Amino acid sequence: MALNYSDKVMDHFANPRNVGEIENPDGVGEAGNPKCGDIMKIYLKVNDETKIIEDVKFKTFGCASAIASSSMATELIKGRTIQEAWDLTNSAVAEALDGLPPIKMHCSVLAEEAIHEALNDYRAKHGMDIIPVEHHEE
Ligand code: FES
């Protein structure tokens, strides 16, 4: 059975935004799903004074939904503060994509988790407390 993807998912899959790596990033995070084997890596450039994410890139070895989720998530956190980025949930990412098929919701979780890991990497390097990362299925 073919899954129904929204135009936004198809667009972000076909033309993903912010693909790549940042040299000397201020934070790097990785998340993977052991069931499907997909992996997502997020790189952040953060302004130390304003705590605003000035640049963000991703590398995703995964399915179409994972790539679309990374692309959308990077768009949503660019120009935001590290606190605003922390508050981005996987359901907000899926909503911004006009929805994901239910069995593909876990793909958006990778984006939330990879961003959390990258933010914690930044926090650790700047003497800030690490926030526990919640691992959840959806
Ligand atoms: Fe695993 Fe999409 S199927 S991230």
Q: Looking at residue 119, what is its pLDDT?
A: 98
DSSP per residue, 84-123: HHHT--HHHHHHHTT---GGGHHHHHHHHHHHHHHHHHHH
Best of 106, 112, 137, 138 for a ligand 1 pocket test (most atoms within 8 Å of beta carbon) = 106
Among all residues, which ones are annotated catalytic? 36, 107
* 93 Cα: distance to centroid of ligand 1 (angstroms): 15
List the residue whose alpha carbon is closest to atom 1 of ligand 1: 36
Q: CA 11, CA 123: separation in Å to the nearest integer?
A: 33
Confidence at residue 88, expressed as pLDDT on a 0 to 100 scale: 98
92-126 pLDDT, tens per residue? Answer: 999 999 999 999 999 999 999 999 999 999 999 99
Nearest residue CA, atom 4 of ligand 1? 107
Give Cβ neighbours of residue 129 (< 8 Å, ≥ 6 apart).
123
User: CB-based contacts of 102: which residues, under 8 Å, 6+ apart?
Assistant: none
Share of the chain above pLDDT 70, in %: 98
Q: Domains, the chain, ranges and CATH?
A: 19-125 (3.90.1010.10)
Q: Which residues line ligand 1 (CB under 6 A)?
A: 33, 36, 38, 62-63, 65-66, 104, 107, 110
Residue ranges of the chain with pLDDT lower than 50? none
